[in-house]
């Protein structure tokens, strides 16, 4: 028992020393814009790539921009503009797959209501494919979250008020974002289901969380697909 306790203390001390040895880099400024830059999202790929998307906002519109690092954030390459919207593009989410795919989703009000849009790169952010519209709803679609599983299936979740209150919806692609499934509705709640987040585990199981006020105050709910 004493030996086990001593070994446990040694292991704990070693872990503490390793954590303490890690340090934070100095500050790196990534934008120099006359406009406002908001809502950054970040993803790391399976190599040394770091991928960032955010919203640049002017007095009349907002668009999605992208920047990448190929050396784990030591240096950064030039700015890439992903949208030229006549409306407002908001709340980008970014994910990388196990290959060279980078996936960005956001919502946009160009059509009079907010819809979920998507764009992908198949070469680690060097070039980008055309825009894909993922929703055609009479209501408002907000706050997409995106993830890629180990088989490079892409999964997107968002919330939408087409049904009269906010509900959670899901869509997936089995070919790295080239084509998409029809939407799946995940909630049928009396209150508002909002701000979803999504993750895929190594077994390609999909996990979703969101907040819901059906109980009076907002509580956290969870759902999975195995």
pLDDT digits (tens, 9 = 90+) for 18-77: 555 789 999 999 999 888 999 999 999 999 999 999 999 987 889 999 999 999 999 999
φ, ψ for residue 97, nearest 5 deg: -100, -175
Q: Where are the domains of the chain?
A: 37-225
pLDDT at 1 over 70: no
Instruction: Find out whether 166 and 213 touch, Cβ atoms under 8 Å.
Output: no
pTM for this predicted structure? 0.89
Q: 80 falls in which pLDDT band (50, 70, 90)?
A: very high
pLDDT over 80 at 163, yes or no: yes
Percent of the chain with pLDDT over 90: 84
pLDDT at 84: 93
Has residue 10 got a pLDDT over 80? no
Q: How far apart are the first and last CA of the chain?
A: 41
At 35 the pLDDT is 87
Residue predicted with more confidence, 4 or 117: 117
Q: What percent of the chain has a predicted confidence (pLDDT) above 70?
A: 91
pLDDT of residue 123 exceeding 80, the answer is: yes
* Average pLDDT of the segment spanning 115-122: 98
User: Residue 16: its pLDDT value, please?
Assistant: 53
Exposure letters 88-109 (e unless 16+ CB within 10 A, then b) = bbbbbbbbbbeebbbbbbbbbb
Helix (H, G, I), strand (E, B) or coil at 43: strand
Give the other-Cβ count within 10 Å of 162's Cβ: 17
Is 90:84 a contact under the CB 8 Å cutoff? no
Q: Spelled out in words, what is the top-level CATH class assigned to the domain 37-225?
A: mainly beta
Using a CB cutoff of 8 Å and minimum separation of 24, what contacts does 206-209 make?
A: 206/147, 206/149, 206/155, 206/172, 208/157, 208/168, 208/170
**The token pair that represents 200 in the structure block:** 């895929």
Helix (H) or strand (E) holding 142: strand 141-148
pLDDT tens digits, residue range 182-193?
999 999 989 999
Q: What's the pLDDT at 60?
A: 82
| Residue 144 pLDDT grade (very low, low, confident, very high; cuts 50, 70, 90) | very high
Q: Has residue 136 got a pLDDT over 60?
A: yes
Q: Distance (Å, rounded) from C-alpha 119 to C-alpha 132?
A: 6
Question: What percentage of the chain's residues is helix, strand, coil (to nearest 5)?
Answer: 10, 45, 50
Q: Does residue 57 contact residue 35 with C-beta atoms inside 8 Å?
A: yes
């Amino acid at each position: 028992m004493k030996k086990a306790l001593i070994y446990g203390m040694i292991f704990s001390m070693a872990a503490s020393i390793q954590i303490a040895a890690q340090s934070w880099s100095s500050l790196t400024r990534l934008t120099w814009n006359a406009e406002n830059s908001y809502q950054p999202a970040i993803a790391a790929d399976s190599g040394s790539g770091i991928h960032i998307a955010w919203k640049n906002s002017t007095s009349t519109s907002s668009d999605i921009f992208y920047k990448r690092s190929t050396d784990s954030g030591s240096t950064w390459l030039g700015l890439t503009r992903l949208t030229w919207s006549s409306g407002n593009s908001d709340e980008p989410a970014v994910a990388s797959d196990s290959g060279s795919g980078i996936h960005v989703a956001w919502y946009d009000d160009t059509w009079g209501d907010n819809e979920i849009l998507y764009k992908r790169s198949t070469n680690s952010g060097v070039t980008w494919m055309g825009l894909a519209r993922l929703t055609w709803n009479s209501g408002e679609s907000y706050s997409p979250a995106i993830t890629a599983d180990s088989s490079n299936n892409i999964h997107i979740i968002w919330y939408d008020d087409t049904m009269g209150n906010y509900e959670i919806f899901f869509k997936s692609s089995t070919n790295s974002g080239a084509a998409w499934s029809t939407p799946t509705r995940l909630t049928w709640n009396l209150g508002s289901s909002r701000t979803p987040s999504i993750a895929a585990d190594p077994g390609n199981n999909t996990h979703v969380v969101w907040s819901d006020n059906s109980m009076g105050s907002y509580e956290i709910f969870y759902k999975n697909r195995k």
